[in-house]
């Protein structure tokens, strides 16, 4: 997921997407432990997407706090 796409999303959409990515990461780790993955780099990609979303959420919260 690109950072430009993430920045266009609303705060509620970001939190929903974050939950979905965390579930996907759990499933990937579980399948890696049980029977292996076809693409182990997928875990790294999902972790980076989670970090990007957390960064944008923090930026939006700080911007909203600064406007008060």
The residue ranges of every structural domain in the chain are 3-67
The torsion angles phi and psi of 9, rounded to 5 degrees, stand at -80, 155
Q: Specify the fold of 3-67.
A: Helix Hairpins (1.10.287)
Q: Is the pTM of this model over 0.75?
A: yes
CB 56 within 8 A of CB 14: yes
Q: Which residues 6+ apart lie within 8 Å of 15 measured at CB?
A: 57
- pLDDT string in tens for the chain (68-residue length): 789 999 999 999 999 999 999 999 999 999 999 988 889 899 999 999 999 999 999 999 999 888 87
């Amino acid at each position: 997921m690109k950072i430009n796409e993430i920045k266009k999303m609303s705060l509620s959409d970001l939190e929903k997407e974050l939950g979905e990515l965390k579930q996907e990461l759990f499933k990937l780790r579980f399948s890696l432990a049980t029977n292996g993955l076809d693409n182990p780099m997928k875990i790294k990609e999902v972790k980076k997407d989670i970090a990007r979303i957390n960064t944008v959420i923090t930026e939006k919260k700080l911007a909203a706090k600064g406007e008060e």
